[in-house]
Amino acid sequence: MSDPTTPPRPTPPAHPAGAIPAPPAFEARGLGRSPRGPRPADLASRAEALDAADDLAKLRARFTLPDGVVYLDGNSLGALPATVPDTTADVVRRQWGDLLIRSWDESNWWTAPERIGDKLAPLIGAAPGQVVVGDSTSVNLFKALVGAARLAEAAAPGRTKLLVDAATFPTDGYIAASAARMTGLTVTPVDPAHAADAMGPDTAVVLLNHVDYRSGRLHDLPALTAAAHAAGAIVVWDLCHSAGALPVGLDAHAVDLAVGCTYKYLNGGPGAPAYLYIADRHQAAFDSPLPGWNGHADPFAMTPDYVPTPGVARGRVGTPDILSMLALEAALDAWDGVSVEAVRAKSLALTDFFLECVAAYVPPGTVESVTPTLHAHRGSQISLRTDNAREVMAELISRGVIGDFRAPDVLRFGFTPLYVGFADAERAARTLGHIFG
């Protein structure tokens, strides 16, 4: 996130909208005031009416948010669920402080990775017994990629390529390169829009992001998974920017493996444990490159030979981080009774309304959207390109609108429907308009 200190007043960009070439997989779309567009008073009134009619608006009470702040950075760090502080205090004071080591049994610490995995599973379209929580996204991605390469080699020996989303978050690329060195594969970067054309008989593993972290582009998980399977490859999906924002459907679309973090739209807290999805059909053959004692069939036997436990728990490695694990479990209570489909519908309505407000409030030629217009290609964020983006975001933050910045010129606004409303979207766009004058 950019430095929240107040910078010099940003100046409008010198270039006209669309003059800077968009990065790969971006759709740049000029925005700005239209002489026939809605008036500010009309937009504020509409926001009020939309919030009044919103069935999810009451869910904001499940979160602790500072007064007067519009928080549009839930795609980096979700807001604090109101149940987490008391739960965490109980874990520290009673479970750890009073029960001490007995809590591994009496407080069910030992079963937390699978128990919380089952609690999270419906949000990504997975049946119980296929998600284990623990470690970081990077560690889980390493397990998934090496495990996928070993599954692919067993099914069709001799395949040589690991296809990787060319615009992926950098760490995914680093991990993929390491996994490729370890398994004898060659990394081949691909644009997800054309990934299906790149898949062939030499493809062993495909790694793709469900939503691009910079542009907010949503990739076609069902079609790309089907294409990977038609080519005989194993597919791994990174769900960091989609889980908790839109339906994923891992089981419905026969995804092989998936990973994701829990501190964004799932609101698990800073550094919250990530998760690993292993489809039931692959679990018996899944060979983790990190065979830790927590994934052993008999962990307390302390034998020199590793025998993986049955099921998804073989994805466990070391002792779970109980404090953050149980904070995540409490955070997931915010989803009680909430439909992911309803969240998706509100997300699209919010992002549509925000773009409309930006077009009404912001001077022409000042910003352009790099987030796809089509709902089928949009995640739950809007990314706007502009000159002086770092300074613009810092100024927004100083005025109580919190988004974030991605180099060199992208303003990101994440819309978390559980606690973001239409008045938030209107105020954010209006504040952006004020900054540019």
Which residues are part of the catalytic machinery?
169, 238, 263-264, 412
Helices (H), 54-162: 84-90, 103-106, 112-120, 137-155
Rounded-to-integer distance, Cα 117 and Cα 241, Å: 18
C-alpha atoms less than 13 angstroms from C-alpha of 107 in its C-beta half-sphere: 21
111: phi then psi, degrees, rounded to nearest 5:
-90, 0
Rounded-to-integer distance, Cα 6 and Cα 208, Å: 37
Q: C-alpha angle with apex 11: 5 to 17, nearest 5 degrees?
A: 120
Rounded-to-integer distance, Cα 270 and Cα 407, Å: 22
Would the CA dihedral through 421, 394, 373, 38 be positive or negative?
positive
For residue 310, count CB atoms less than 10 angstroms from its CB and return exposed for 0-12, middle for 13-18, buried for 19 or more.
Answer: exposed
* First-to-last C-alpha distance (Å) of the chain: 24
